[in-house]
């Protein structure tokens, strides 16, 4: 017999699963979350570093102001104020001299254009060559994604006449840092989707958790689910799912049985493929691995809290964060630098010592004081799949929330969310799954917030192109936080 019967079983205790479970609990359903591991949070979790007592994440994460679903989730949990928002620059780049990219009060895509005119290494010809590609991004609508998803971002840019200089200066960096896949391997649809957000809104900002990433939502989610009659079970590794009349029964590897009317799988592609391969083409999702580096210094080496290195063929690290400028718990102390080596196939076989030495050298390109400072501690985290790779053709492989099995649903950043693989995509997928479960219960809901992104901008641009100058204003950003 099952241990207990719930309204919903959510398999997976990461962002997607917990956001779904909290939403369904709020709607009055009894939810059981089954997590195979000993800790919740999936790829967005934290722990205490034994040597220093600092909270460190599995890897540093950036939030941005278009994360409407993620911010809504934090609002529900009471932790939204723990996002430290950048006050001004869109991005600080390590060039000679240091370059800070900002939006100016001009219509898209021109709001970034004046700033780029002063960018070291860019010519006017490079910037002008970029306009056709940028306008394509801003006019992008959902129906356009199919064709663009079949070509690489590099081929698309070359076909649109973007100069090699502009591609190397801007697009290769943007692709690696936002899509986590090299430009020559990335789907054009994926890159243009995120470019529409960055260049389309003058109020676009980056933000960073000022506490541990897992501290934003894990304990709060467990508390909310438990208070509303549900439960979270750790060490419950699903082995199979069976139907018994109108009930789904999940059997775990340790012979426990959990039953519910509905099942939501909020697990990575490989885990779903091992459990119920008929639900999605999970083999199509190639992991993008990371190496995340944490460096503790004996002094403050910079006043900047976030910056990126320019693209280079032999570059390892791109994004750097100084948690001394982000977390109140460290603002009176020395620098704690976090960085990401993205799509890190090229460092397979490198020792931790070699990665730390190379990271310190690249850090010094922006913060020369890193060469003189004493390194107190260093950690390297290997992350087999930060996100799936956004390779051409992957968009049509992303499965919908509803599956071929009755009352079985999918969630996860890799499902069809109309967003790049990200924390925002994970939470939106959780809300989409909650909406689908409630619909199956005969209850209408609209928990998931649609991407403002390209559809809203495209409508504005297309109406302007047709001379309709009195079009409705763009919708207000859901949950603005600065």
Q: Rounded to an integer, what distance in angstroms lies between the CA atom of residue 202 and that of residue 258?
A: 49
**β-bridge pairing 317-322 and 55-57:** unpaired
- Do residues 99 and 175 both lie within one domain? yes
Residue 450 lies in a domain: no
The verdict on 269 and 250 lying in the same domain is yes
The answer as to whether 132 is a domain residue is yes
- The answer to whether residues 187 and 240 belong to one domain is no
Judgement on whether residues 169 and 245 belong to the same structural domain of the protein: no
CA distances from 154 to 142, 191, 316 (A): 21, 10, 20
448 inside domain = no
Tens digit of pLDDT per residue, the chain (482 long)? 555 689 999 999 999 999 999 999 999 999 999 999 999 999 999 999 998 999 999 888 889 888 999 999 999 999 999 999 987 767 888 877 888 888 888 776 677 888 888 889 899 999 999 888 888 887 777 767 778 999 999 999 999 999 999 999 999 999 998 889 999 999 999 888 888 777 766 677 889 999 999 999 999 999 999 999 999 999 999 999 999 888 999 999 999 999 999 999 999 999 999 999 999 999 999 999 999 999 999 999 999 999 999 999 999 999 999 999 999 988 879 999 999 999 999 999 999 999 999 999 999 999 999 999 999 999 999 999 989 999 999 999 999 999 999 999 999 999 999 899 999 999 999 999 999 999 999 999 999 999 875 444 445 445 554 554 433 333 333 332 22
pTM, whole model, 2 decimals? 0.91
**Which CATH number fits the domain that encloses residue 263?**
3.50.50.60
Q: Are residues 372 and 414 in the same domain?
A: no
Give the total number of structural domains in the chain: 3
Cβ atoms of 372 and 335 within 8 Å: the answer is no
> At 384, which CATH number?
3.90.660.20
333 and 358 share a domain?
A: yes
Could you tell me the residue range of the domain that residue 132 belongs to? 91-204
How far is Cα 77 from Cα 74, in angstroms, rounded to an integer? Answer: 5
Looking at residue 138, its pLDDT comes to 77
Q: Are 138 and 269 in the same domain?
A: no
Residue 41 maps to a domain: yes
């Amino acid at each position: 017999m099952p241990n207990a019967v719930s309204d919903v079983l959510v398999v997976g205790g990461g962002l997607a699963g917990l956001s779904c479970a909290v939403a369904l609990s709020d709607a009055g359903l009894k939810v059981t979350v089954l997590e195979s591991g000993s800790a919740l949070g999936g790829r967005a979790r934290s722990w205490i570093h034994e040597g220093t007592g600092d909270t460190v994440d599995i890897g540093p994460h950036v939030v941005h102001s278009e994360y409407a679903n993620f911010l809504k989730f934090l609002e529900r949990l009471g932790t939204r104020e723990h996002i430290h928002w950048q006050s001004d620059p869109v991005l600080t780049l390590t060039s000679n001299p240091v370059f800070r990219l900002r939006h100016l009060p001009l219509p898209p895509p021109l709001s970034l254009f004046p700033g780029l005119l002063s960018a070291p290494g860019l010519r006017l010809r490079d910037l002008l060559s970029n306009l056709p590609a940028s306008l394509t991004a801003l006019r992008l609508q959902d129906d356009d994604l199919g064709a663009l998803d079949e070509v690489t971002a590099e081929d698309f840019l070359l076909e649109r006449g973007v100069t090699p200089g502009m591609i190397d200066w801007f697009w290769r960096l943007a692709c690696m840092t936002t899509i986590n896949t090299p430009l020559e391997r990335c789907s054009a649809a994926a890159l243009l989707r995120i470019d529409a957000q960055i260049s389309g809104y003058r109020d676009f900002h980056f933000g960073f958790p000022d506490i541990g990433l897992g501290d934003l939502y894990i304990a709060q989610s467990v508390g909310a689910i438990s208070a509303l009659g549900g439960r979270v079970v750790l060490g419950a590794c699903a082995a199979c799912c069976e139907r018994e009349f109108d009930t789904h029964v999940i059997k775990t590897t340790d012979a426990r049985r959990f039953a519910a009317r509905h099942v939501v799988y909020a697990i990575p592609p490989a885990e779903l493929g091992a459990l119920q391969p008929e639900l999605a083409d999970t083999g199509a999702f190639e992991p993008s691995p990371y190496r995340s580096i944490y460096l503790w210094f004996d002094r403050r080496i910079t006043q900047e809290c976030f910056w990126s290195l320019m693209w280079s063929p032999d570059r390892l690290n791109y994004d750097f964060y100084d948690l001394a400028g982000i977390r109140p718990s460290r603002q009176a102390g020395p620098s704690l630098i976090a960085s990401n080596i993205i799509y890190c196939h090229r460092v397979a076989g490198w020792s931790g010592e070699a990665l730390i030495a190379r990271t310190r050298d690249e850090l010094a390109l922006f913060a020369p004081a890193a060469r003189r400072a004493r390194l107190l501690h260093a950690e390297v985290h290997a992350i087999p799949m930060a996100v799936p790779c956004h390779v051409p053709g992957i968009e049509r492989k992303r499965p919908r929330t509803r599956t071929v099995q009755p009352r079985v649903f999918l969630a996860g950043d890799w499902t069809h969310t109309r967003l790049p693989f990200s924390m925002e995509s994970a939470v939106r997928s959780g809300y989409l799954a909650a909406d689908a479960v409630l619909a199956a219960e005969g209850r209408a809901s609209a928990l998931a917030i649609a991407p403002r992104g390209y559809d809203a901008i495209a409508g504005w641009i297309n109406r302007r192109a047709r001379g309709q100058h009195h079009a409705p204003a763009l919708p207000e950003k859901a949950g603005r936080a600065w």
